């Protein structure tokens, strides 16, 4: 019983202004209450390592939500803003934003990011998942397009250049951003095009040559190929956005991204971007976490001193409005727990994302859910890009409400109708955990969201300990890369 006795100390940390915590040792109610009272009296730190003992199986603890919606308080240094107009967004764009998306008030991240981007600054925009980062960069980008719309597009040349570019790591994300951008751009007479993986160069050439492109949304592989083959150029790009930059710096993408950046005439200062007749390219990097290697990569293509760091006060922190539950289970018990959780949902509940560690687990678990007559679909990286995009669109429309997936669904995808995230396999890194948690409790979501994690392996417990410590101390998750260090 050593593991359980150690875990009883959890209650000692239920202090004012701390995240609310609920713990269970699996003991009978009377014994558990006695253990709870004893733990409160001890007031000592939780020895989470006790969960490595096999007798801890069946225990769980919860981080209870302390608010019902994403925090909207002003971050230190932010000026109060009542509307997008106050941030410098033009009236016609504000009207389209309200009519098409029903949005009238900026989020804290948008308040902080929009004014510097409108001024033309190179920037790193780092904010928690679901905080409104996409609109934070799209609105300044579109406003600059309106200013430069009378300029020649380059269509008379054999090589075409878009006027702005957004690069994303997957075709699903590219399609999602293109959809949002098109809703804002179409009423303003601006043209948005998307090129993603899985398409041949001939198809890309036809799409690019179909007419002037104000905003191009693309993935790194096909974009780099098109640039090398001179199907398009970036000579007239006013703004280049790297969205989900932490994923774009993954070894599978980083060389492609560096190559793309080498094709753009990046600005060295804010003043260069406002020259209508000879504009340079404003560089904007956007992410929910600040990845290792970002400073090194950016220093190869831009002056680090020209990059403004625009970060949220909640960066790398657990979301206080999302309930998080950690259950210590044997590997052989996970299927039973999962099936029970899904079947116990209320009819009015939102959708469920079930995260697995790899493709084979996704496929195997899908067969198990079929046996239990649970309607679902699966999403993993070995599928064709078009198939993945079709499945996720159906999930967003509510055609089915259980999606079994790998981490391919954890980055950036809009999941405002999701209520539950279940980590069937615990994530391998704290960054992955933050991204998975970020699929619920997003701005505009109907549900505050709940995350349930199965903790099976000893190395899972090490990460849980770090998460619990950050929650208890109300600090960012440990080991996350610091913000850019600017040379003196």
H helix runs in 400-457, sequence order: 430-437
Looking at residue 15, its pLDDT comes to 30
What span, in angstroms and rounded, lies between the C-alpha atoms of 158 and 325? Answer: 57
For the chain, the C-alpha Rg in angstroms (whole number) is 24
Listed in sequence order, the residues at least 6 apart from 331 whose beta carbon sits closer than 8 Å to its beta carbon are 456
What are the boundaries of each domain within the chain?
2-70+317-473, 85-311
Looking at residue 14, its pLDDT comes to 32
Could you tell me how far CA 316 lies from the centroid of its own chain? 12
Looking at residue 127, its pLDDT comes to 87
Burial class (CB in 10 A: 0-12, 13-18, 19+), 455: buried
Looking at residue 105, its pLDDT comes to 92
* Torsion angles phi and psi, residue 401, rounded to 5: -125, 15
Listed in sequence order, the residues at least 6 apart from 71 whose beta carbon sits closer than 8 Å to its beta carbon are 108, 314, 320, 321
Helix, strand, coil percentages in the chain from 3-state DSSP, rounded to 5: 40, 15, 40
Looking at residue 79, its pLDDT comes to 52
Mean pLDDT by 10 residues, the chain (488 residues): 33 35 50 47 48 72 78 50 88 96 92 94 89 94 86 55 94 92 96 83 84 92 93 92 90 90 82 63 90 76 84 85 93 95 91 96 97 95 88 90 94 85 96 92 85 94 91 85 56
Query: What's the CATH number for 85-311?
Result: 3.40.50.300
What span, in angstroms and rounded, lies between the C-alpha atoms of 338 and 342? Answer: 6
Architecture of domain 2-70+317-473: 3-Layer(aba) Sandwich (3.40)
Topology match between the domains 2-70+317-473 and 85-311: yes
64 bridge partner residues: 20
Three-state DSSP at 269 gives: coil
Looking at residue 208, its pLDDT comes to 83
Q: What is the DSSP string of 362-383?
A: HHHHHHHHHHTT---EEE-TTS
* pTM reported for the whole predicted model: 0.80
């Amino acid at each position: 019983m050593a593991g359980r006795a150690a875990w009883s100390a959890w209650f000692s940390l239920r202090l004012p202004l701390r995240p609310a915590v609920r713990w269970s040792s699996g003991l009978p109610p009377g014994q558990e209450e006695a253990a709870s009272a004893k733990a409160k009296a001890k007031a000592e730190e939780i020895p989470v390592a006790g969960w490595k003992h096999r007798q801890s199986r069946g225990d769980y603890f919860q981080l209870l939500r302390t608010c019902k919606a994403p925090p909207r308080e002003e971050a230190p240094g932010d000026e109060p803003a009542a509307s997008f107009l106050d941030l410098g967004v033009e009236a016609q764009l504000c009207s389209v934003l309200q009519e098409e998306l029903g949005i009238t008030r900026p989020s804290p991240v948008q308040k902080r990011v929009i004014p510097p981007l409108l001024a033309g600054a190179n920037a790193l925009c780092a904010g928690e998942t679901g905080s409104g980062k996409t609109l934070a960069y799209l609105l300044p980008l579109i406003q600059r397009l309106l200013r430069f719309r009378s300029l020649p597009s380059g269509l008379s040349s054999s090589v075409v250049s878009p006027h702005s570019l957004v690069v994303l790591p997957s075709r699903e994300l590219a399609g999602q951003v293109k959809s949002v951008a098109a809703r804002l751009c179409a009423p303003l007479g601006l043209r948005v095009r998307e090129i993603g993986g899985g398409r041949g160069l001939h198809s890309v050439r036809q799409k690019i040559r179909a007419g002037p492109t104000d905003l191009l949304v693309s993935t790194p592989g096909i974009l780099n190929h098109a640039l090398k083959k001179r199907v398009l150029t970036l000579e007239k790009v006013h703004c280049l956005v790297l969205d989900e930059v932490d994923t774009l710096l993954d070894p599978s993408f980083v060389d492609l991204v560096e190559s793309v950046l080498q094709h753009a005439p990046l600005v060295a200062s804010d003043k260069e971007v406002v020259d209508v007749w000879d504009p340079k390219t404003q560089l904007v990097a956007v992410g929910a976490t600040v990845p290792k290697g970002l400073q090194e990569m950016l220093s190869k293509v831009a002056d680090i001193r020209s990059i403004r760091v625009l970060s949220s006060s909640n960066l790398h922190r657990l979301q206080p409005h999302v309930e998080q539950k950690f259950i210590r289970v044997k590997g052989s018990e996970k299927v039973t727990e999962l099936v029970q959780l899904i079947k116990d949902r209320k009819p009015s509940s939102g959708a469920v994302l079930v995260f697995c560690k790899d493709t084979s687990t996704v496929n195997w678990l899908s067969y198990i859910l079929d046996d239990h007559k649970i309607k679902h679909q699966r999403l993993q990286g070995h599928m064709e890009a078009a198939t993945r995009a079709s499945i996720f669109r159906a999930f967003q429309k509510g055609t089915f409400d259980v999606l079994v997936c790998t981490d391919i669904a954890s980055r950036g995808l809009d999941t405002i109708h999701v209520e539950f995230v279940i980590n069937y396999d615990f994530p391998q890194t704290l960054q992955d955990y933050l991204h998975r948690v970020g699929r619920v409790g997003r701005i505009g979501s109907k549900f505050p969201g709940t995350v349930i994690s199965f903790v099976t392996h000893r190395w899972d417990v090490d990460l849980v300990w770090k998460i619990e410590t950050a929650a208890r101390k109300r600090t960012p998750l440990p080991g996350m890369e610091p913000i850019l260090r600017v040379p003196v």
